[in-house]
Amino acid sequence: MSQQRRLAAILFTDIVGSTAIMQKDEHSAVSLNRRYMAVLKQAVSSHGGEILNDYGDGSLCVFASATQAVLCAIAVQQQLQTEPKVPLRIGLHIGEIFFEDGKPFGDGVNVASRIQSLGIANSVLISAEINNKIKNQPEFKTVSVGWFHFKNVDEPIEVFALSNEGFAVPDKNKMEGKLQEKKPAGRKWILPLAVLLLLALSFLVFENVFRVSRFTEGDKTIAVLPFENLGMHDTDEYISDGITQDIIKNLSKIASLNKVIGWFSVRKFKKTKETLKEVADELGVAAVLSGSLEQHADKIHIIAELTEVNTNKRLWGDDFEYDSKDILSIQSMVVGEIVNALKAKVT
């Protein structure tokens, strides 16, 4: 099996609606085909081209130069716009052609055929490669009609239309042809969206499970401010004071803490208007634990938060809710939970 290859300007033609014309009036269809073929043969010959394949209502032609191929396309369309008019569309591209047993094949042939399929009657569509060859020649006027993803063609191709006077330029929003099937609009976002969601989930897991907030400067000194009573009677302050004192006592037993300020030094800051930074500076500590108690019906809600004052970084925080029937049990439970949580963070 012999094979020859050559680079050529490829011209594809097709009579628009030839099947419908044939069904409507066979005699007229045959007459138009004969006229079309006579004009094509004369134009191709006079421009140094060669007709490689005749498909009846279309043809494959090749030329040695892009200029000659475009000039031939112009000549053919101009002649076929006189009566009887032939609704022809033409597509051009530059590519390598190879022959097997005399039959032309090649990617360039496929691309030229697909470009032609986008056309309308009396249009000449060309690839960007052809356009680059003729764009500096003033007798040719072209306009881009967009980028297209053709069937079995990996990369999108920009297509231009010859816009000289008398030639039809397709509406880029209405062009149809041998294009890749359009995927549902939402489908193309599924994979990127899934990746983004996975990354976001991974970040949250890292932040909440693996990343532990630590003292920035390594100075593990803490002051526990008297817990505030919110919505409780003043006579119940012994509960919040007792929780504060028990937390101080238990934190003092954690060896990794450099210093825990005693109750008699912090009790003066009960209901203080000073900022955490001012309190910390006065007591000489890096972090302050603050909290509050609030009673709703038969429930007591407790909030606690540890803040590094120089960076204003929240090292730890949590909230707890208990049945208010047994105050002493609440005090013991919340102190145990807070201290255990803080011990896990600071060690």
pLDDT in tens, 247-283: 888 888 888 888 899 998 999 998 888 888 899 999 9
* pLDDT of res. 67: 94
Q: Are 244 and 226 in contact (CB under 8 A)?
A: yes
Same domain? For 110 and 229 the reply is no
Examine residue 189 and state whether it is found in any structural domain, yes or no: no
**DSSP secondary structure, 245-305, as one string:** HHHHHHHTT-TT-SEE--HHHHGGGTT--S-HHHHHHHHT-SEEEEEEEEEETTEEEEEEE
Q: Are 216 and 308 in contact (CB under 8 A)?
A: yes
Q: What is the CATH number of the domain that holds 70?
A: 3.30.70.1230
Same domain? For 155 and 8 the reply is yes
Examine residue 327 and state whether it is found in any structural domain, yes or no: yes
* pLDDT of res. 212: 46
Examine residue 209 and state whether it is found in any structural domain, yes or no: no
* pLDDT of res. 211: 45
Q: Are 128 and 157 in contact (CB under 8 A)?
A: yes
Backbone φ and ψ for 282, nearest 5 degrees, come out as -70, -35
Same domain? For 22 and 145 the reply is yes
User: Positive or negative, the Cα torsion across 106, 107, 110, 113?
Assistant: negative
Same domain? For 158 and 282 the reply is no
> What residues in the chain have per-residue pLDDT under 70?
1-4, 101, 182-191, 202-218, 231-236, 324-329, 344-347
| Closest CA relative to residue 248, chosen from 303, 213, 307, 289 | 289
Same domain? For 100 and 240 the reply is no
Strands 142-148 and 221-224, by their bridges, are: unpaired
Domains in the chain, number: 2
Burial 292-309 (b: 16+ CB within 10 A, else e): bbebeeeebbbbbbbbbb
Same domain? For 45 and 122 the reply is yes
Cα Rg of the chain (Å, integer): 42
Examine residue 325 and state whether it is found in any structural domain, yes or no: yes
Q: Largest Cα–Cα distance of the chain, in whole Å? A: 114
Which residues are paired to 323 by β-bridges?
A: 299
Same domain? For 257 and 334 the reply is yes
Examine residue 98 and state whether it is found in any structural domain, yes or no: yes
| 205 membership: H or E segment, kind and range | helix 190-205
Alpha carbon distance 339, 73 (integer Å)? 87
Same domain? For 251 and 138 the reply is no
Same domain? For 235 and 330 the reply is yes
Alpha carbon distance 324, 314 (integer Å)? 29
CA 166 → CA 30, 121, 124, 144, distances in Å?
A: 26, 12, 11, 17
pTM above 0.75, yes or no: no
Question: Each residue of 122-163: pLDDT tens digit?
Answer: 999 999 999 999 989 999 999 999 999 888 787 888 999 999
Same domain? For 27 and 126 the reply is yes
| Closest CA relative to residue 15, chosen from 2, 32, 31 | 32
Examine residue 339 and state whether it is found in any structural domain, yes or no: yes
Bond into 192 cis (ω within 30): no
| 30 membership: H or E segment, kind and range | helix 26-46
Domain final residue, candidates 125, 140, 162: 162
Angle at 63 between CA 58 and CA 66, to 5 degrees: 105
Domain final residue, candidates 135, 162, 189: 162
Examine residue 342 and state whether it is found in any structural domain, yes or no: yes
Q: Which residue has the tokens 């000289």?
A: 164
Alpha carbon distance 190, 92 (integer Å)? 37
* pLDDT of res. 122: 92
Return all residues near 323 (Cβ < 8 A) that are at least 6 apart: 298, 299, 300, 330
Domain final residue, candidates 162, 179, 196: 162
Same domain? For 14 and 153 the reply is yes
Q: 113: domain range?
A: 3-162
Same domain? For 156 and 229 the reply is no
* pLDDT of res. 123: 94
Q: Are 251 and 222 in contact (CB under 8 A)?
A: yes
Q: Are 331 and 227 in contact (CB under 8 A)?
A: no
Which residues are paired to 230 by β-bridges?
A: 294
DSSP 8-state class, residue 63: E
Examine residue 30 and state whether it is found in any structural domain, yes or no: yes
Q: 62 burial class (0-12, 13-18, 19+ CB within 10 angstroms)? A: buried
Q: What is the CATH number of the domain that holds 262?
A: 3.40.50.10610
